[in-house]
Amino acid sequence: MTTEESLRPQSLMLTFLGEQVLGRAVCVYSGSVIDVFARAGVGEQATRSTLTRMVGRGLLRRQREGRRMYFGLTEHSEAVLRDGEHRVWQTGAVNRHWDGTWTLLGFSLPESWQRQRHDLRSKLTWSGFGPLFGGLWIAPGEVDVSALVAELGLSAHVKVFRAHADTGTDIGAMIEETWELTELAHRYEDFVRHWQPWLTRSPHPDDALAHRLLLQTEWLRIIRRDPRLPVEHLPGDWPAERAEKTFRSVHGALTPLAEEAAAHLIDLVPARDHPDAPGA
């Protein structure tokens, strides 16, 4: 499966909005989105459906200007994009500053609560946790899960602790037993194989914009699935650092051309009723 086929249109949309709209108090013309997405391998119908669904989910708002429809961010989508921006450009893929702290989360749910158990496990996985034992999950560092637990209505069934491993604990072995390191390493290695050749290519600016969109969406998808385990307890040839270097280098190479394309492909208008809009 190619990169273009495996990325969800909503993920691409969020990346696009983060690049073109976030922090600018503007809305983007739907036709501009359709044009850029077509260059990224997403058809017009899929793009229009994604815009409609994201409005329904509170991730986008519509703004009509004459006969044209523009789309802007909501408070919810801005929070999602700020988190992604932080993960990509500040947190990074390699955890070099771990202080030895672990977050332990224990839960006990009735046998009949299969859906609640599935939802909790899914959200814990996305928050960097792994199953130490059946109902006891662990994540490196101090992870605040209060909002996650409250959202699921499970506060009475979950207990959270901060801990340090005993001196005799083999942390490396524990990590290998708790997280799928091989699968994660393969994701990083595949990323490098796919994107490193772009360091020697000179695409058309319009194509550079689409490829930068694909690059950043794929990178964010990988690092969101990475629990950021302490690097000192990972295999010596751990590929995350090489993948991150590839991401930053290709992103830097594509950006001048991508910005050139954005200047003539993307139609933006000031967002009305936005906190950062002039006169708001």
Can you give the residue ranges of every domain in the chain? 101-164, 180-262
Residue corresponding to tokens 């450009």: 89
Q: How does pLDDT run across 265-277, given as a tens digit for each residue?
A: 999 999 987 544 4
Single-letter code of the amino acid located at 150: A
Torsions phi, psi for 257 (to 5 deg): -70, -40
Distant-in-sequence, close-in-space partners of 182: CB < 8 Å, separation ≥ 6: none
Name beta bridge partners: 61. 72
Render pLDDT for 236-261 as a digit per residue (tens, 0 to 9).
Answer: 899 999 999 999 999 999 999 999 99
Type of residue numbered 14: L
Task: Check residue 274 and give its pLDDT.
Answer: 56
Q: Which residues contact residue 151 at a Cβ distance below 8 angstroms, ignoring those fewer than 6 apart?
A: none
Q: How far is the CA of 135 from the CAs of 97, 150, 173, 174, in angstroms?
A: 28, 18, 19, 16
pTM for this prediction = 0.88
Can you give the pLDDT at residue 5?
A: 43
Cα–Cα separations (whole angstroms), residue 194 to 93, 110, 199, 256? 18, 45, 11, 21
Beta bridge partners of 27: 269
Phi, psi (rounded to 5 degrees) for 94: -115, 125
> What does the pLDDT read at residue 273?
72
Q: Which residues of the chain have pLDDT under 70?
A: 1-7, 274-280
The CATH classification of domain 101-164, taken from the options 3.30.70, 3.40.50, 3.20.20, 3.40.1130: 3.30.70
Concatenate the DSSP letters of all residues of 175-224 into one string.
HHHHS-HHHHHHHHHHHHHHHGGGGG----HHHHHHHHHHHHHHHHHHHH
Helix (H) or strand (E) holding 270: strand 268-270
Is 68 in contact with 30 (CB distance < 8 Å)? yes
Residue 246: C-alpha distances to residues 105, 193, 199, 215 (Å)? 35, 10, 9, 10
Q: Is 17 exposed, middle or buried (0-12, 13-18, 19+ CB in 10 A)?
A: buried
